[in-house]
């Protein structure tokens, strides 16, 4: 049953990842990215790693996607013509489809993509989460705080750049003059 759930989560993650790069609306793309990241969190749960699943949901789905949607709304990307900025991507798409078909063919023939894992019980997994938490908030607290400050500076910088752009008068391209 666990393997069936894995395949369902993986299929939904792959479909939503393809939709992230194929839809034209940035908000819809962000929505599909949230779905993909939630599926990855579900796969972490199946791998008996609830700490990584919680981090996936809180950091990626929660914070990063809120910042992304905020930036999309502030930048007002929907006004620009997308065909001016999006080029034909058929060659990478064909490459990705061929790679996925090769992996699917390998799996259908009975191949395994990973080695056998050791035996992990709940006590070992709980100890692992404790070790990660202690290391993050003791040994790696300075890099953790530096990354949070960098994200804050990037957000403030993006807002400043957008506000400078909005204060400039728009060119009317000769219409009405």
Place of tokens 């065909």: 83
Confidence (pLDDT) at 51: 81
Task: Tell me the pLDDT of the chain (177 aa) as tens digits.
Answer: 788 889 899 999 999 998 888 888 777 888 888 899 999 999 998 888 888 888 888 888 777 777 777 777 666 655 555 455 455 566 777 777 888 788 778 777 776 655 555 666 666 666 777 787 788 888 888 888 888 888 788 778 777 777 766 666 666 555 554
**Distance linking the first and last C-alpha atoms of the chain:** 69
Confidence (pLDDT) at 85: 47
Domain ranges within the chain, ordered by starting residue: 2-78+118-167
Instruction: Give dist(CA 126, CA 36) in Å, integer.
Output: 26
Q: What is the DSSP letter of 174?
A: T
∠ CA 101-107-113, nearest 5°, is: 105
Confidence (pLDDT) at 148: 82
Confidence (pLDDT) at 40: 93
Contact 136, 144 (CB under 8 A): yes
Look up the pTM and report it: 0.55
Confidence (pLDDT) at 13: 93
Provide CATH code, domain 2-78+118-167: 1.20.120.1200
């Amino acid at each position: 049953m666990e393997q069936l759930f894995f395949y369902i989560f993986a299929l939904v993650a792959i479909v939503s990842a393809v939709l992230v790069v194929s839809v034209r609306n940035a908000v819809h793309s962000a929505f599909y990215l949230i779905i993909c990241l939630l599926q990855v969190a579900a796969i972490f749960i199946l791998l008996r790693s609830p700490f990584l699943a919680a981090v996936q949901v809180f950091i990626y789905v929660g914070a990063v996607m809120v910042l992304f949607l905020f930036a999309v709304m502030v930048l007002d990307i929907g006004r620009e013509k997308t065909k001016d900025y999006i080029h034909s991507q058929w060659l990478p798409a064909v490459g990705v489809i061929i790679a996925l078909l090769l992996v699917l063919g390998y799996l259908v023939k009975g191949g395994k993509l990973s080695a056998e894992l050791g035996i992990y019980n709940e006590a070992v997994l709980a100890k692992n989460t404790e070790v990660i938490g202690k290391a993050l908030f003791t040994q790696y607290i300075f890099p953790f705080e530096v990354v949070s400050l960098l994200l804050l500076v990037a957000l403030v910088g993006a807002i400043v750049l957008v506000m400078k752009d909005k204060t400039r008068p728009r060119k009317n391209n000769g219409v009405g003059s």
